Amino acid sequence: MPEVNDPTWKRANTDWFSKARWGVMTHYLGSPEETADAWNKRVDSIDVQALADQVASTGAAYYLFTIGQNSGHYCSPNAAYDSFVGISPSKCSRRDLIGDLADALTRRGVKLLAYLNSAAPYCDKLACRRLQWEWGYEGPMEAYSGIFRGLRLAEFQRMWEAIILEWSTRWGNKVHGWWIDGCYFGVDMYNFAEEPNWRSFASALKSGNKESLIAFNGGVNLPVVSMTQYEDYTAGEIDADLPLLFRQPKRPMERFVNGAQLHILTYLGETWGAGSPRFPVELPAGYTKFFNRSGGVVTWDVPISAAGVIPQAYIDQLKVIGKAATAG
């Protein structure tokens, strides 16, 4: 199904993002077995000033941080979410960690971007049922394969947009962008002229800051693609390999992919949010410089401890990447 064309939609200006050249991501996630009390204690223990100091020390211009993913735990309160799922005590933290971290980063000249799934939290079956999430998974999450049934899930979308609206309007200009994961069913769920659709999804994300940048991730796609006109930059998920993107004949690497800012996200460690650095530092530093020459942006995912500390081995590598990117 071809995308619905919307000539009235205008993408946000990505100049600052292109000039940033690179940034950092961390997955800060709860466990499905974790109690609400344990989650709150963990979130409360994070020293956002120390974490912001770490990120700023690398020279990164932005930091992509997870609100939550598949466990059902989120590191910010949300009354809309609680009203829909009816779980007590809430799996949303009492502390607004995103807001606190954004404040700490802003004082250091670093922008915060937020990560969120497009789907209900898979590991929380009660939340999935009450949010009317009906897409399924076959086998464990790491062996994901979608059950493609062509479901529209309009009621889920309306609830998810309301949840996002609460967060986005609360944070306002504190959040400068969003990276939305799990958009595997874009044609089935969002590619419609009537709401809920890509536009209403993007509008909810931008409700607090109309200039915030959005990327919708449909999985690993090479060459990197733009899923919809309603995203401002490409999600660009890259897995184990670091390919020389767009080097095919007649397809040079350029700053924009169908109007979206070129961007990739991959991990410095052995996998997402885990392990030791997998590269000699010269490789990610050189790869970042290579990508920057066409106006592209690279985000490097690094592990973070339960206490909110990025291991020093990664900070050391990120500092080298930052110097290389600045030198051009």
Domains of the chain: 15-327 (3.20.20.80)
In the predicted structure, residue 229 carries a pLDDT above the cut 80: yes
Question: Which band of pLDDT confidence, cut at 50, 70 and 90, is reported for residue 2?
Answer: low
Question: Which band of pLDDT confidence, cut at 50, 70 and 90, is reported for residue 139?
Answer: very low
Contacts of residue 199, Cβ cutoff 8 Å, sequence gap at least 6? 6, 9, 230
CB 266 within 8 A of CB 272: no
In the predicted structure, residue 158 carries a pLDDT above the cut 70: yes
CB 264 within 8 A of CB 291: yes
In DSSP terms, 256 is beta-bridged to 261
* Spatial distance between the Cα atoms of 249 and 327, rounded to a whole number of angstroms: 29
Question: Which band of pLDDT confidence, cut at 50, 70 and 90, is reported for residue 247?
Answer: low
What phi and psi values does residue 291 have, to the nearest 5 degrees? -70, -35
* Spatial distance between the Cα atoms of 208 and 291, rounded to a whole number of angstroms: 31
In the predicted structure, residue 248 carries a pLDDT above the cut 70: no
Q: What is the pLDDT of residues 256-277, one digit of tens each?
A: 999 999 999 999 999 999 999 9
The per-residue pLDDT of the chain, averaged, comes to 92
What does the pLDDT read at residue 221? 86
What does the pLDDT read at residue 27? 95
Q: Give Cα 217 to chain centroid, integer Å.
A: 8
In the predicted structure, residue 233 carries a pLDDT above the cut 50: yes
What does the pLDDT read at residue 201? 98
Least confident of 55-64, 133-142, 209-218, 220-229: 133-142
In the predicted structure, residue 279 carries a pLDDT above the cut 70: yes
* Spatial distance between the Cα atoms of 309 and 210, rounded to a whole number of angstroms: 31
What does the pLDDT read at residue 145? 42
Q: What is the pLDDT of residues 107-127, one digit of tens each?
A: 999 999 999 999 999 999 999
Contacts of residue 2, Cβ cutoff 8 Å, sequence gap at least 6? none
